[in-house]
Structure formats: C-alpha cells, structure tokens
Copies of this chain bind each other. A is one copy, B any other.
Amino acid sequence: MRTIKIFSSIIILSLLIASKPIIKNEIPISEETQQCLSCHTSIHPGIVSSWENSLHRKITPLKAKEKSKLERKVSFENLEPELGNVVVGCYECHSLNTDKHQEAFEHNGFKINVIVTPNDCAKCHPVETEQYSKNIMAFAHTNLVDNPVYTQLMKAVNNPHKFEKNKIIIGEGNKLTDYELCLYCHGSKIEVKGFKTRETDLGEMSFPILEGWPNQGVGRVNPDGSRGSCSACHTRHTFSIEVARKPYTCAECHKGPDVPAFKVYEVSKHGNIFSSDKHKYNFSDVPWKIGKDFEVPTCATCHISLVVNSDGEVIAERTHQMNDRLAWRLFGVPYSHPHPVNADLSKVKNKQGLPLIVELTGEPVSELVISKDEQQIRNSRMKKLCNQCHSSSWVDNHFVRLENTIKETNNITKEATKILSEFWQRGYAKGLPQNENIFDEEIERMWTSVWLYYSNSTRFASAMSGGGDYGVFAEGRYQLTETLYKMVDKLNQKKNVKK
C-alpha cells in the first residue's frame, strides 16, 4: 500500500516538475526537495515531521540574512539565488559539494550525500564552521586515535582481554566496539566501502556501504575530509536552538565520571534554578537576553551563545570555538593546564618525548599552551557574563578558588605519579618505556582514576560552583585521597611479599 502511495506521489510530482517552485504558505520549497518529500514523508515520517517543525522549513536563507545583525543566525556573505530563495530542505543540504563526498550516490536522478558535514553547513553558516574547526572537539577523533598514549588507553579499555597463564593478554580490537564506546562521543572515521544494491519499497536501489556509520561524534572524520558533526548538538532534523541551549545536549558526552560537567551543573545553584524555572524561560530568541529570556545560565550561555543585557548591549559574542572564554583546560591528561594553543593535540611532545602537553611532573610544555595574558583575556570574557548577576568580589573570588583547586589537584596527581613510578622502578609493575601499555595493571588504573575521575570531578565542582557532593563524596576529594592510601597500601604489601 505504501509502495502504491509513493508511486502515485511520484506521478503527481512529475506533473509539477516542469513548473516553478511551489509556494506553500508563501515560503517556497525547491522542486527537488518536494520530490524528496513525496516519498520520504511516507518512508521516514519522523524525519519529515521534525524538519517541518524546524526553522529551516520556515524561512529562506536570504530572508534570514535580512534580519538585524544581532538577530541573524546565518553568516554567509553571498548565496546563489536558487539556494537562497527556497527553504532549507532535504535537497538543499544533502546535495552540496557532492564532488567532495566519497559517499555521494545516484538516487532517483539526483546526486545525494548521506552525510551533511560542517563543510556543507558552511554554505550558510561559514563563521560558525570556521570557529568550530579551532575547537579541541573538532579534533576529538584525531586527538584520540592518533595519539599513542590515548590509543593505549583505548586498547586497554575496548579490546578483547584473555586470561592466560596467570595474566591478561590484550587482543586485537574491533572497530564495532570502538564505535560504541570512545568514538561514540569522539566521532568515528566514516569510510566508503563500496556501494550495494538492495530491494526497497520503490524497487531496486543502490546505496553506499559506510564504515563507521551511524555516528554523530563531535570530531567525526567525514567522507568529504571535514571534521565534526553539527548534529552532535544541533540534532537533526529540527536543528532546534532550544535543544542546543539546554544542558541535556552537552550531557550526552559530558556527564561523567570523567567529565561530570552536567552532574555538577545539576546540583549547582544555577542548575537548581534551571530545573525549577526552565518552563518560564525563552530558549529560542536570538540574541539571548539576560533577565528577560532567562535568569540562570546553561552551558551554552557561558560557552557559546550571543548574550545581551536588558539594554541590548552585547555581553558575550556568539562563538563556536568553545575555549574562547576558557583560560584552563580542566580535563588534563594527566594534569590540568592552560588551554592549548592548537586544537590538534595528536602530535604534541613533552621533554620526555611522550605525546603529552604536560610533563609527568605537572609543568605544561610552555610553547604549546596559551600565555598568562591570553588566559586573562579569556577569563575576562567569561567574567563579563558572571558580573551581570554577581558582584566583582564574588566573581573574582570564584576564579581565585578555581585556580587553587587546579593547583591542589595537580599536586595530588603528582604524588600519585611518584607512587606509580616507584612501582615501575621496583619492578612491581611494567614501567615506561619497556611497557607497551601503561593502563593495563591495577596500580596503573588507580593512578588513572586519580586524574581522570577524582581530580576532574573536583575541578568541575569548583569551576561550576557545584562543590557539594561532586567536590567531595561523589568521586571527588574523598576518593582522590582514598586512592592515594590504597596505592601506598599496595606498595607496602608488594614490599612485604617480595622481600
């Protein structure tokens, strides 16, 4: 029945195809998109109804460009009229740059891409795409799979493990596991493995075979060579700014215990008021007005959004380079440090030759991280936001405390590293450099948890003023210090047995 309906849709469409773009509510939809819709409304009703609710459906790019500077969400200079004067429909996004898309395929007479990449979105949003590309997140795949330290961690977590002759042997990994685990957030590399023909409701059709698909990780390597996935935050096919501004989007990857940003936010004063009062806020208006649209910030407010005060003055410019207002990289490996100069961290090296941006003793590699001046600039961008609702002394003291927390947790990591080193030196564990993997023994995991879980949790609690449980008892300082006691107890136990 569906097949019949789809075929009759096509026939009706064919009659229309010669005519000009149909005006529906006076917002023109391209002929091509109408042809897409004629079938996909039945095949993928969920996708189509999401799109029907989107702003893409409700305004053309050239109309969007006419909005005042602060209200405008498109950032292109020029756009060809055939694209600019129709709504942003299926065809407008899925047919761009097909020459660069290895997965482009013939589909009912059109050349179509399965995946819409940041490079495609850049047609209308070039500034945001450019900003995003300077983000550590854009390199989330590369920084993980091309950095020898992190790939060791990946293997020790994801790969098959065998118990043989009293020890654990780590086997060869498989990509299917990686996709479900680390690469779920970091992004997969999507590769075209050929094309295959299969029977559909509309007869035989050919589709690309995609390795690494589906994936919406922030650092996805796309088949057009671009990095990232805008739909990681701007979920298809509503591309709702409301969803992107709410903290649940960030929570997909920043929940914890490694980066407990959302958990800390939830129990912070900001998070409490958000949860209690969000139904009274406006999450859609651009620019976003403090006091009028919202009372407390979400993740987006502090890190991304264009924010104005009640007088319409710009308090924070929109940025998709999320570190623009961040002086520190809280989530250090293994130490927290000033933000890196470059987002690509796959080729960094410290003095010891390890692919890390810090020494194992905690000092950052100075030429790889931003200067104190740049830190101050970024902090003052952030503070300008804080100051809309908090006094100067409140805000200044907050940042003094955060820097203290960074210093103190880094110190603890250093002590834990000393204990681990003693294990390595005494031969109680396989040490660097003879050890091919520094994450595959109990003591090494204790050390990893010190910085990856407990130091991070304590730092996020401090950074976001949610210090109650996540700073102390919920994988915070309590577990941080406890792990030191465990490591020492284990060291003494080894000594007692060995001697």
> Given that A441-B489, A485-B442 are contacting pairs, would A184 and B467 also be in contact in the complex, using a CB cutoff of 8 Å?
yes
**A43 nearest in chain B by CB position:** B387
A185 sits at the interface (CB 8 A): yes
Q: Nearest-CB distance from A419 to chain B (Å)?
A: 5
- Contact B484 A257, beta carbon cutoff 8 Å: no
Interface centre among A207, A445, A452, A485 (most CB of B within 10 A): A485
- Contact B163 A473, beta carbon cutoff 8 Å: no
- Contact A440 B485, beta carbon cutoff 8 Å: yes
Residues of B within 8 A of A473 (CB): 256-258, 452-453
- Contact A291 B46, beta carbon cutoff 8 Å: yes
> Given that A485-B168, A497-B493 are contacting pairs, would A295 and B256 also be in contact in the complex, using a CB cutoff of 8 Å?
no
Q: Nearest-CB distance from A484 to chain B (Å)?
A: 6
Give 6 nearest A-B pairs by CB, closest first: A49-B291, A46-B389, A184-B467, A176-B404, A248-B275, A243-B276
- Contact A462 B290, beta carbon cutoff 8 Å: no
- Contact A177 B242, beta carbon cutoff 8 Å: no
A158 sits at the interface (CB 8 A): yes
A14 sits at the interface (CB 8 A): no
- One digit per residue, 1 when the CB lies within 8 angstroms of any chain B CB and 0 when it does not, for chain A 246-264 equals 1011011101111000000
- Contact B272 A248, beta carbon cutoff 8 Å: yes
A76 sits at the interface (CB 8 A): no
- Contact B393 A210, beta carbon cutoff 8 Å: yes
- Contact B251 A181, beta carbon cutoff 8 Å: no
User: Could you write out 14 A-B pairs with CB less than 8 Å apart?
Assistant: A2-B313, A5-B311, A45-B310, A114-B391, A161-B412, A161-B484, A168-B485, A235-B269, A243-B276, A248-B276, A249-B276, A252-B272, A258-B469, A496-B497
Q: Nearest-CB distance from A120 to chain B (Å)?
A: 17
A194 sits at the interface (CB 8 A): no
Residues of B within 8 A of A465 (CB): 184
Identify which of residues 312-345 in chain A touch chain B, using a CB-to-CB cut-off of 8 Å.
313
Residues of B within 8 A of A472 (CB): 157, 181-182, 258
A477 sits at the interface (CB 8 A): yes
Of the 9-residue stretches A65-73, A123-131, A395-403, which lies at the interface with chain B?
A395-403
Residues of B within 8 A of A114 (CB): 391, 393
Q: Identify 5 new A-B residue pairs, CB closer than 8 A, beyond the known A185-B467, A440-B485.
A: A43-B387, A45-B291, A168-B485, A213-B397, A255-B474
A394 sits at the interface (CB 8 A): yes
Residues of B within 8 A of A44 (CB): 387-391
- One digit per residue, 1 when the CB lies within 8 angstroms of any chain B CB and 0 when it does not, for chain A 163-188 equals 10011100000101101111011000
CA distance in complex: A252, B474 (Å):
13
- Contact A181 B477, beta carbon cutoff 8 Å: yes
Residues of B within 8 A of A272 (CB): 235, 243, 248-249, 251-252
- One digit per residue, 1 when the CB lies within 8 angstroms of any chain B CB and 0 when it does not, for chain A 227-247 equals 000000001001010110010
Residues of B within 8 A of A291 (CB): 45-46, 48-50, 52
